[in-house]
Structure 1
Amino acid sequence: MTPDSATPVTDLAPAPEPDEPPSPERRGRRCAAIILAAGRGTRMRSRLDKMLHPVAGRPLFDAAIAAASGCEPVQTVLVVAPHNAEQLRAYAAPRYPDLAFVVQTEQLGTGHAPAMALPLLDPTIDDVMILFGDHPLDTPEMVAATLAEHRASDALVTMAACVHPTGGQHGRLTRDDRGRIVRITEWREAVGEEPGPKEINSGIHCFRLPWLAEQLPLLPRHASNEYYLTDLIAVAARGASGDRPWPVAAVTVDLDAAMGVNDRTHLAATERLARRGINTRHMLAGVTITDPETTYIEYDVTIGRDTIILPGSSLTGRTTIGAGCTIGPAARIADSAIGEGVAIRDSTIEESEVGPGTDIGPYAHLRPGARIAGGVHIGNFVEIKNSAIGSGTAIGHVSYLGDATVGEGVNIGAGVITANYDGARKHRTTIGDGAFIGVDTILRAPVEVGAGAITGGGSFVNRDVPAGQKVVGIPARPIPRHARADERVKPAEQPTDRQAGEG
């Protein structure tokens, strides 16, 4: 187990050591992060690497990087395996260009993996935070607390500990009669222990880097043919001296930190815990969630105060919700910006913008590129795609607007369709301010309806309509301005009383 066996997959090289490096006190102590992600992940039964499976919309990879940010690392190294190196590098390249990778060619345990990363670290770094990549509920706050305790206690190693009701399959912290941590006892070795709560190791560890570099090559190999990082706790305790602070410290964090993901049941369990935490955070910030158990909100969603989220709603991606909105029931909103005072019920909104005071639904669908101004009414079974809708416009029911620009104060009747696709290309429709589009009008793009224009019910509009003009028919024709109202439709075209009352 020597660092020479590392197979780096990055061009990053250690920074040259200065002739007289400044002391940590003069330059401020610096920390690096090592993330262990070389597990095989076979229990996931997936072609996708375990680190790329999402929890509450965030892949484990991103969760680990976010957690590591809590120590403000000057370098971060991801330890991967031959089977997942290419997939993880491809994911990281556009997102984390400064991230260094190293391949652990032999799977020899948590005590071996950090040794692979050490050659990539600037040797003048003071501390190193080691995290498990498959612990998606670790947070930057937990890592920051661990680092703060590490420096305040002047320890060689500091860990984040949790209190577990039974201990489960986690390593137990063992303390001496003075309450000092002396080792971690693996759960398999915890024979004959008293039942009850146990102090366990969460998997977050911070080490003095020079000490870690000295001790890793000295770790014993276990019967499993692996080296255990947790053996260093006992090593540090055995080396304690009376003239220095106790070399092992711990800070207590939430039990969620110990939740690792090894299979899909673990993924679902962490999903539930993450969702509970996200919902709680929003409720404490002034958002009403009437049924948290049926409300799904991802990490990157932001919600304004006094907004009400009703049951069965899903808010995902980088969605932003303004203050004073009513969302749901059964609203699905993804990667969209919703203004203040908006009401959305039983509808789907994707990659769209909705202005303040607009109401949507039920059963409406805003597809990518929909830009809805304020005070708009979008009723049931309305679909809008790649279109801009002006303020005060009403689209009451059963309409499709695609690739359209609609002005302010427009009325869109039931059954209106923009026929925007000619079989090869999409074309745009433009409707001016104050226009009135009658029921069942088909607007064959490209076409423009001017401000204040009117289309009669059932019209097929395939030519531009000037501002203020009224058109009707198939194809739509202007109605003469001098015609009396009872002459504007031929007698043969007028419906009978029976027909007029149908529908």
Structure 2
Amino acid sequence: MSNRYAVILAAGQGTRMKSSLYKVLHPVCGKPMVQHVVDQLIDINLSEIYTIVGHGAEKVQEQLGNQTQFVLQEEQLGTGHAVMQASSSLSGKKGTTVVICGDTPLLTSNTLESLIQQHENENAKVTVLTAQPEDPTGYGRVVRNSNDEVEKIVEHKDANKDERKISEINTGTYCFDNEALFESLNHVSNDNVQGEYYLPDVIEILKSQGEKISAYITPNFEETLGVNDRVALSKAEAIMRKRINREHMKNGVTFIDPDNTYIGPDVKIDQDVIIYPGTTITGDAKIGTGAEIGPNSEIKDSEIGHNTVIKQSVVHDSQVGDKVQIGPFAHIRPLSEIKDEVKVGNFVEVKKSSMGQGSKASHLSYIGDAEVGKDVNIGCGAITVNYDGKNKYKTIIEEGSFIGCNANLIAPVKVEKGAYVAAGSTITKNVPEKALSIARSRQTNKEGYVDKLKK
């Protein structure tokens, strides 16, 4: 196999997006478009990937990191000019180069691999990725000769009546013989209305030299969608979401309403999981076998254990064990660890805390910066008071403790193993093992006081 390279065109500003966010960084199913492209290219084991950047270069570099090399196109003078910026790195090298736009998030590694395979098998100098949409209006047409070879590509506006009847269109993704690509780019002219250097002109140059031009027809036109505005962005989102959900369902996941369930491209879901409507699972998330998620739950960058149930709740950047019950209306904030068989009930918030196996906080509690041991019961309205307005402090509740309703644990404080805290107490000192701590005013009843008050 010859060396393989890729050039990603990602320098355009994308004015039709009408956004301060650089176009290729707009997310599709939670991931920037250009990251989708890079991920698929990485899957086909390329020797080198170059991303041509312009507007918003720093933010693109921040997103992609060391996954590609970067070349700056200071002035945007067309697609041919963009590829030329990589000439100092690629010119003269033998091999195959894929040129792809950074706003084509739906293209898959399978399609790109098939494109390369045909290109190399046919020993072509250029292979165009083409498609056959139901309505080709507006697209450049691929004109073939009597031997079914690519004769030329003609833009819709320049096509004659017969050419406009052709259904095969140019998608804007190409495979080139690398040496031929950069040699031909030296002969591309900007003698046109826009004064730009167009990459498709390379095809005309190579054709005039008698070189072979090929085309690979992708069976899935949807993959080739280029995103230039918010309408196309919404289409890409819908197509990607259906693709992701379909794959999970084929792998044994139940979606009660897949059209209203939103799963990110990097999420891993085991079989026999049930996902209810209105649920969003994004980032680096993993859902274990037998879990039930939703309805209307949000999971992000979190691992959810086997047979865990999460209803109408939010879990971010946390670890949740097996056979856990969360919700409804609970919030598990970042850096929390919920161990096996824990119950986190309605309107309970857990932040940067661990809850040991079998512990419960059934309703209306806040557990922040806390370490909760096994089999602890936290009563309704109990809170860890972790913030003094400047610093955060830790609360430790050891195994088997019982925290009564409406108790305030003023951190830093420790409730030792098996201790009880009476309802309504405000605890400012450590509670010894198996002690009962009461920290509230003694009740006083004023007999007949109400009658006196009314007089």
Answer yes or no: same fold by TM over 0.5: yes
Query: Residue 32 in 1 paired to residue 5 in 2?
Result: yes
- Give distance in 2, aligned partners of 1:79 and 1:165: 32
RMSD between aligned residues? 2.3
Shift of residue 181, structure 1, vs aligned partner: 1.8
Partner of 2:161: 192
Give, as a single letter, the amino acid of the residue that structure 2 aligns with 1:68. L
What is the rounded CA distance, in whole Å, between the counterparts of 2:210 and 2:443 in structure 1? 106
Q: Which residue of structure 2 lines up, in the alignment, with residue 5 of structure 1?
A: none
CA distance in 2, matches of 1:399, 1:494: 32
Query: Does 38-47 or 142-151 show the bigger shift?
Result: 38-47
Q: Give the whole-Å Cα distance in 1 for the aligned partners of 2:37 and 2:46.
A: 13
Aligned-partner residue type, residue 15 of structure 2: T
Structure 2 residue corresponding to 1:276, chosen from 220, 225, 242? 242
- The Cα of 1:89 is off from its aligned counterpart by 3.7
What is the distance in 1 between the residues matched to 2:298 and 2:201? 48
Greater alpha carbon shift after TM alignment, 284-293 vs 303-312: 284-293
Of residues 351, 360, 366, the one that matches 2:317 is 351
1:104–1:128 CA distance, 2 compared to 1 (3 A) = farther
Q: How does 1:421-500 map to 2 (within 5 A)?
A: 421-474=387-440
Question: CA offset at residue 450 of structure 1?
Answer: 1.3
Contact 2:53 2:70 in 1 (8 A): no
Greater shift, 463-472 or 210-219, is seen at: 210-219
Return the alpha-carbon distance in structure 2 between the equivalents of residues 195 and 240 of structure 1: 25
1:149-189 per-residue CA deviation (whole Å, 9 max, x = no partner) reads 11111111112222200113222211222322211121222
Deviation of 1:331 after TM superposition, in Å, equals 0.4
Quick check: 2:328–2:345 contact (8 Å CA) kept in 1? yes
CA distance in 2: counterparts of 1:398 and 1:347, whole angstroms: 14
Please name the residue that 1:76 is paired with. 49
Change (3 A) 1:426 1:359: same
Superposition map of 1:215-254 within 5 A: 215-220=184-189, 221-240=191-210, 246-254=212-220
CA deviation string 1:323-366 (max 9, x = no partner): 11100000011111111111001001111110011010000000
CA-to-partner distance for each residue in 1:306-329, whole Å, 9 max, x for gaps? Answer: 101100001111111111110000
- Answer yes or no: is the 8 Å Cα contact 2:131–2:221 preserved in 1: yes
Find the aligned partners of 2:214 and 2:204 in 1 and give their Cα distance.
9
Amino acid at match of 1:84: G
Partners of 2:439 and 2:81 in 1: CA distance = 79
Cα gap change, 1:231 to 1:494, in 2 (>3 Å): farther
Q: 5 Å matches for 1:71-470?
A: 71-81=44-54, 83-92=55-64, 95-96=65-66, 99-105=69-75, 107-121=76-90, 123-193=92-162, 198-220=167-189, 221-240=191-210, 246-470=212-436
Q: Is the 2:149–2:213 contact (alpha carbons within 8 Å) kept by the matching residues of 1?
A: no
Q: In terms of mean alpha carbon deviation, does 254-263 or 441-450 score higher?
A: 254-263
Once residues 177 and 142 of structure 1 are traced to their aligned partners in structure 2, the CA distance between those partners, rounded to angstroms, is: 26
> Aligned AA for 1:442?
N
Deviations 1:118-143 (A, max 9, x none): 22216233111101111111222221
Contact 1:160 1:253 in 2 (8 A): no
Q: Is the 1:378–1:397 Cα contact (8 Å) retained in structure 2? A: yes
Distance 1:39 1:354 in 2: 42
The 1:391–1:281 alpha-carbon spacing in structure 2 relative to 1, beyond 3 Å, is: same
Distance change (3 Å), C-alpha of 1:79 and 1:321: same
Deviation of 1:447 after TM superposition, in Å, equals 1.1
Structure 2 residue matching 1:213: 3-state secondary structure: helix
CA distance in 2, matches of 1:196, 1:308: 47
Contact 2:91–2:182, Cα closer than 8 Å, also in 1: no
- Contact kept in structure 1, 2:17 and 2:228, CA below 8 Å: yes
- 1:287·1:306 contact (CA, 8 Å) conserved in 2? yes
Name the CA distance, whole Å, in 1 between partners of 2:77 and 2:13.
12
Distance 1:108 1:249 in 2: 26
How far does residue 223 in structure 1 lie from its aligned partner after superposition?
A: 3.1
Mapped to 1, the partners of 2:445 and 2:267 lie a distance apart of: 55
How far off is 1:398 after superposition? 0.5
**Percent identical residues:** 37
Larger deviation, residues 364-373 vs 262-271: 262-271
1:304 & 1:312 partners in 2: Cα distance? 19
Q: Give the TM-score, by structure 2 length.
A: 0.92
Q: Which moved more, 1:199-208 or 1:350-359?
A: 199-208
Distance in 2 (CA, whole Å) between partners of 1:196 and 1:72 is: 38
Shift of 1:97: 6.4
Provide the rounded CA distance (Å) in 2 between the counterparts of 1:493 and 1:187: 90
- Give the Cα separation in 2 of the matches to 1:68 and 1:203: 16
Which 4+ stretches in 1 moved above 6 angstroms? 194-197
**Is 1:61 the counterpart of 2:44 in the alignment?**
no
Q: Which runs of 5+ in 1 are unaligned?
A: 1-27, 476-489, 496-503
In structure 2, how many angstroms separate the alpha carbons of the residues matched to 1:294 and 1:196? 38
Q: Secondary structure at the match of 1:164?
A: coil
Alpha-carbon distance in 1 for matches of 2:92, 2:206: 21
CA distance in 1, matches of 2:121, 2:439: 82
Q: TM-score, normalised by structure 1?
A: 0.83
Q: Report if the CA contact (8 A) 1:161-1:253 is conserved.
A: no
**Contact 1:32 1:125 (C-alpha < 8 Å) held by counterparts:** no
Structure-2 change in CA distance of 1:168 and 1:339 (3 Å): farther
